[in-house]
Structure 1
């Protein structure tokens, strides 16, 4: 059904309710998505049921989400041991462990678990093994950490989990891909045509329209050959991941994706009316979450991640997933799972979000408190991103080597007395800067232990420019620098006056408004041309 035809008169009211719940949760310093989820349950209690408009909205949001994930995904990254090794080992171990726990619970007097056989327990365990892609992406975007090392690892693990879910869905439906699915191989050379069209789309409305057409078209193409449409959206995003405008396209779709995902969270809350029995069962399932998180941490540190990176990644992945609900719904349709377990898993997912949100908000604080115990699990061998950095001889550090950082580097390098080092968390950005002849290294400046990587301390550094696009990251870095005894000049960029004020509250020496500086630069060049 067309999404416009499916709109009913009450639908705008439900979205307004979601907005007000989201606003309340934001004021409580919790993720707005939890407010959207709470709005769904509140509406459910009031007797509101799912309708086609909200379902269409939710489906479109998830499709755009997977497409934008694909735009940021480098396939070669999935081949890294810390990603595929963690994902496969974790899923295998957690499914076995959870199945055994559920079978033990079936021996108790708790009626909800008493009816579980080993087949049902295995399906529930499989559903609980997934981590939420929606939660992870929104959390990382909120932090401005999509380019961080632990973000790449987390997203890679989630993609492998999603592939496992798609395989399950295909197998459980009893369908096999059409013989025409082999034609999808033509997409590999066809990506050049897609890239050309993207290049011709400009930077405004045509760019957004191209994104919609490609995401929905990719989903439709995969559905035509008997494959999951969401996988098609993901694959079409991957085909464009290496295009120069991939990042711009992703940002262009961000606002649309945010709006449509509100429908997704509302549909979760509206998916079933909770009862005391289902709520208690869901709360019991939360006891598996610490096991899930601890196993992620153990595997990631064994595969050479530093303790802090492993902590951040584990915190993001310690939750239950929307894919678990999809698995449960499919199992229900084919008669493999009782209907009440769909509601139980929906509640467990919701409760896990309520726990995971503050956990991620305070992950750094938690890490600092138990750092001594966590670092014991680190390996001596490091990944390339975590190796020591030497800054001797540099008096200017530029943290964040995007367009602003590059422009500042090039301008300051004209002064012979300036010895500059750039640092960026994104390996691809570092490689581009190195190719341009700049002295740039990989590093996560928002990492609490970032300065411990410098074997020679920060002596000699006179000025640090904070040019990262996310203001919260700049604030974190400023706080960490002052905490580690840095007394030199701290300079930062801002877009809005309220950001300038907040940066100065955190010990920033000078703050430059990007828009003002652009205007000053243009005026300077105009005056030069008149002379």
Structure 2
């Protein structure tokens, strides 16, 4: 205990308090708190202040927990889709080729710092800039409630492919390959997965579940590092081991507050990474212009892989930032003597500013899409993937969102003139409902992707039933339906009495508590 406390510099709690103040100010201005944390780091850096060892450890813990929770929600089969790995690898290749050409052109213009670049230098910098930040993008998706949206899953898939490329780079650049024990560790994990899952179901709830999650995340990081693999990848893999299991959602929620706290250290440390000079402020704006090309290239590639315009544009905006991995690439290059130390400061400032720019753009991404959708749709592929095919809502009057037991019962009760359809996020549920003769489509109604593809204002739909067991999903769906112009009635189910007010605030007209309604139904049947 004494050793842990000794790692806390007396200034660290002050820096965290300052981060809180800037985060609260940022939220008050309608921006995500992480923008405030970054600005706090800039301010502290401006006054020549630096964080202690504890702040760095805090940042590492936050990243490990974040990647572990990504793994909990990840579907490995999604990574095998050609639109994910194909667009990710093609983007790295094309972006590097174009960026090297631009950097060498800037060298010919004799711009400061650029005029010192060789072809190798340009390749290293381009490679560092080709990555998007996993930490930032996931945090932004969680704040918007779009983690499970189509574009969110595309972005996460691309980021994971980038992380795998990063692992290969670190191994080659450090002349270090995973040890012979790495293969044994991977085999052991997947052989032992059933035991890990069984153990997770036996530990109950509360603090034991929280400790289990921390042990898995930090243990995964430590084990992977022990066999000369990237520690962050270990946290991600251990999360994947528990994905789609009974405890996955509960475990993710249990870790939420702890993860958020530790991530404050990460965003603070990015802002405090280096003290810029005049040259830095000349180079950084030039490299920020490359973000336009970076996002545009993502959009073009995703559209070419038959992804719908809305999802392609939202994913490209989400990925329009530079990654903290760029700092690692630059740091390795500086330590090997391939780049001067000035580039490390440039990269730190560039990444932090890219987070601020990207956060602001993503905050208004729906409005930006609405404004430019007619231009963007010209690039949409003539034949879309199954997940992106538009749903025919002609003459449909009722939407049942969530086709579980409650949704199925509502569908059967209201299906008179075939003017009702069901929607569900689980493909297996959709298949089952179709077998029962219920007209059901695959759709994620709690993501803005679905609402962007239908003209809800001019449709014949006059009633939406929200039957998902997750009240947060119902709140998000109601809010999106109202945002995209739906004027009809919205009904939703709830589990607890205090959820009613929140649902109504988000646009629901009528709320039905499933336990209260079941009790009332039982009484009516008993009286007959």
Give the TM-score normalised by structure 1.
0.89
When residues 12 and 439 of structure 1 are mapped into structure 2, their CA distance, relative to the original with a 3 A threshold, is: farther
| Aligned: 1:137 with 2:135 | no
Partner of 1:177: 178
Deviates more, 1:234-243 or 1:301-310: 234-243
When residues 359 and 498 of structure 1 are mapped into structure 2, their CA distance, relative to the original with a 3 A threshold, is: farther
Distance between the aligned counterparts of 1:493 and 1:138, measured in 2? 28
Partner of 1:336: 338
1:467 CA displacement: 5.3
RMSD: 2.8
Partner of 2:311: 309
Partner of 2:60: 59
When residues 410 and 97 of structure 1 are mapped into structure 2, their CA distance, relative to the original with a 3 A threshold, is: same
Note if contact 1:3-1:57 (Cα within 8 Å) is conserved in structure 2. Answer: no
1:16 CA displacement: 0.9
Partner of 1:91: 92
| Aligned: 1:415 with 2:419 | no
When residues 454 and 359 of structure 1 are mapped into structure 2, their CA distance, relative to the original with a 3 A threshold, is: closer
Aligned residue among 466, 477, 484 for 1:480: 484
Deviations 1:443-474, CA, capped at 9 Å, x for gaps: 2435477475599x843x44202456243442
Note if contact 1:387-1:453 (Cα within 8 Å) is conserved in structure 2. Answer: no
When residues 31 and 429 of structure 1 are mapped into structure 2, their CA distance, relative to the original with a 3 A threshold, is: farther
1:330 CA displacement: 2.1
1:417 CA displacement: 5.1
Give 3-state SS (helix, strand or coil) of 1:163's partner.
helix
When residues 96 and 238 of structure 1 are mapped into structure 2, their CA distance, relative to the original with a 3 A threshold, is: same
Give 3-state SS (helix, strand or coil) of 2:334's partner.
helix
| Paired residues, number | 514
Note if contact 2:12-2:51 (Cα within 8 Å) is conserved in structure 1. Answer: no
Deviates more, 1:424-433 or 1:155-164: 424-433
Note the residue ranges of structure 1 that are not aligned, 5 or more in a row: none
* Superposed counterparts of 1:57-456, under 5 Å: 57-184=58-185, 185-391=187-393, 395-399=397-401, 401=402, 406-413=404-411, 415=413, 421-425=421-425, 427=427, 430=430, 439-445=439-445, 446-447=447-448, 450=451
Distance between the aligned counterparts of 2:480 and 2:85, measured in 1? 31
1:414 CA displacement: 6.0
Note the residue ranges of structure 2 that are not aligned, 5 or more in a row: none
1:248 CA displacement: 2.2
When residues 393 and 202 of structure 1 are mapped into structure 2, their CA distance, relative to the original with a 3 A threshold, is: farther
1:342 CA displacement: 1.1
Give the TM-score normalised by structure 2.
0.89
1:408 CA displacement: 3.2
1:288 CA displacement: 0.5
1:528 CA displacement: 8.3
Distance between the aligned counterparts of 1:423 and 1:374, measured in 2? 27
Partner of 2:27: 26
Give 3-state SS (helix, strand or coil) of 1:176's partner.
coil
Distance between the aligned counterparts of 2:481 and 2:414, measured in 1? 27
Note if contact 1:147-1:426 (Cα within 8 Å) is conserved in structure 2. Answer: no
Note if contact 1:465-1:491 (Cα within 8 Å) is conserved in structure 2. Answer: yes
Note if contact 1:278-1:343 (Cα within 8 Å) is conserved in structure 2. Answer: yes
Distance between the aligned counterparts of 1:114 and 1:451, measured in 2? 46
Deviations 1:112-133, CA, capped at 9 Å, x for gaps: 2111211121111111000111
Distance between the aligned counterparts of 1:340 and 1:33, measured in 2? 26
Note if contact 2:59-2:264 (Cα within 8 Å) is conserved in structure 1. Answer: yes
Distance between the aligned counterparts of 2:431 and 2:43, measured in 1? 49
